[in-house]
């Protein structure tokens, strides 16, 4: 029972001299030792504070970046766990996906086809060639980000931004299930001459962290849905902690180039500035991709396109690319990803008025 609930439903009648607290819960009188009562409330307040802390992306991701950079030699030895961390994140996210709702909103097949083709095929090609013409060192990193499916938090982000949660859910599922095929194909086709990447190795990596957790999650939901509903409140903090661990072990391998980049006022700062520009352009492209659709639909498509599953990009960068100009920008993408939703949400909400 939460502290807020206690305030709402408990009536204080009296505290007797022997420290017994008389409460009315509903219509039933309950006697509780005062010390036990306040100890219980203290424990609940601590647990509530811990949950709020672990759900805060800014704190966990910031802490992960700092620890990964400062203690790179130590945490880099655990980089082999990145696939496990990512698979666990995707499993927890898949437990919240209701396939019945997805099937219900598959009616507009033309729109889904256009959005999926643009997000997974056309956009990565466009991003790669434009970036390669303007600033070649970031072409591969931006290609990886652009080729990723919608993030698993897209339905929630779409809802708080004024979009359609149901449409975001459908786009999240379809782009995620197609990405293990489209992402390796695009990267191999577009950048195959400049980087040595294996289509099948990349496909197996993506299939491992997407298909297996997704299928396993649907099996678990089939038999233990009630249990999942009871513990689902813990999924978000666990996922945020796993995200922090993923970022920490990946960034640890690039700690020296990052530190030198900040010290010299060079690459690291350029990467962050370029990423904010990149995400700003993605917002514009995402919103006007289907310009004839309603404002609410355009918000949703923008969220799905801009707030991509950067954790998958981090995994691919960690597994198949060792260059700092690829890995570091991909990991740093979490900064504009987390920050730019705030003004975007405000602007979209204001536009509705």
pLDDT class of 17 with cuts at 50, 70, 90: very low
Lowest mean pLDDT among 14-28, 202-216, 231-245, 281-295: 14-28
Q: Where are the domains of the chain?
A: 1-55, 57-352
Tell me how far apart the alpha carbons of residues 290 and 298 are, in angstroms, rounded to a whole number.
Answer: 7
Q: What is the structure's pLDDT at 323?
A: 85
pLDDT class of 13 with cuts at 50, 70, 90: very low
Q: What is the structure's pLDDT at 276?
A: 95
SS (H, E, C) 287-349: HHCCCCCCHHHHHHHHHHHHCECHHHHHHHHHHHCCCHHHHHHHHHCHHHHHHCHHHHHHHHH
Burial of 23 (0-12, 13-18, 19+ CB in 10 A): middle
Give tens-digit pLDDT for 196-247: 777 888 888 888 888 898 889 889 988 888 888 888 888 888 888 888 888 8
Tell me how far apart the alpha carbons of residues 155 and 165 are, in angstroms, rounded to a whole number.
Answer: 5
| Element of type H or E holding 81 | none
Give tens-digit pLDDT for 45-74: 665 666 665 556 678 878 888 898 888 888
Which class would CATH give 57-352? Answer: mainly alpha
Q: Which two tokens stand for residue 261?
A: 């980049």
Tell me how far apart the alpha carbons of residues 350 and 247 are, in angstroms, rounded to a whole number.
Answer: 34
Lowest mean pLDDT among 8-22, 258-272, 307-321: 8-22
Tell me how far apart the alpha carbons of residues 158 and 186 are, in angstroms, rounded to a whole number.
Answer: 27
pTM of the model: 0.75
């Amino acid at each position: 029972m939460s502290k807020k609930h206690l305030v709402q439903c408990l009536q204080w009648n009296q505290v007797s001299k022997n420290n017994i607290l008389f409460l009315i819960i509903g219509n039933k009188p309950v006697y509780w030792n005062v010390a036990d009562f306040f100890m219980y409330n203290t424990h609940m307040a601590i647990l509530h504070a811990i949950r709020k802390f672990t759900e805060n992306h800014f704190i966990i991701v910031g802490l992960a970046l700092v620890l990964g950079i400062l203690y790179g030699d130590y945490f880099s030895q655990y980089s082999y766990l990145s696939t496990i961390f990512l698979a666990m994140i995707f499993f927890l996210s898949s437990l919240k996906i209701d396939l019945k709702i997805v099937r219900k909103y598959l009616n507009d097949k033309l729109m889904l086809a256009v959005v999926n083709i643009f997000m997974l095929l056309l956009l990565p090609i466009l991003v790669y060639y434009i970036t390669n013409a303007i600033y070649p060192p970031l072409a591969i990193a931006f290609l990886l980000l652009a080729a990723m499916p919608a993030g698993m938090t897209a339905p929630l982000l779409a809802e708080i931004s004024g979009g359609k949660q149901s449409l975001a859910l459908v786009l999240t599922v379809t782009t995620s299930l197609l990405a293990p095929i489209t992402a390796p194909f695009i990267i191999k086709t577009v950048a195959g001459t400049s980087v040595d990447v294996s289509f099948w190795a990349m496909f197996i990596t993506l299939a491992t962290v997407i298909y297996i957790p997704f299928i396993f999650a649907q099996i678990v939901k089939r038999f233990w849905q009630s249990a999942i509903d009871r513990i689902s409140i813990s999924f978000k903090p666990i996922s945020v902690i796993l995200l922090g661990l993923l970022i920490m072990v990946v960034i640890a391998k690039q700690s020296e180039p990052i530190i030198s980049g900040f010290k010299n006022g060079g690459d690291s700062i350029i990467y962050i500035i370029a990423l904010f520009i990149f995400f700003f352009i993605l917002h514009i492209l995402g919103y006007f991709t289907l310009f004839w659709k309603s404002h609410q639909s355009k918000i949703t498509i923008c969220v799905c396109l801009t707030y991509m599953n950067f954790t998958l990009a981090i995994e691919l960068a960690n597994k198949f690319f060792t260059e700092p100009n690829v890995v570091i920008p991909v990991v740093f993408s979490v900064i504009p990803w987390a920050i730019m939703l705030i003004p975007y949400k405000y602007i979209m909400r204001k536009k509705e008025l």
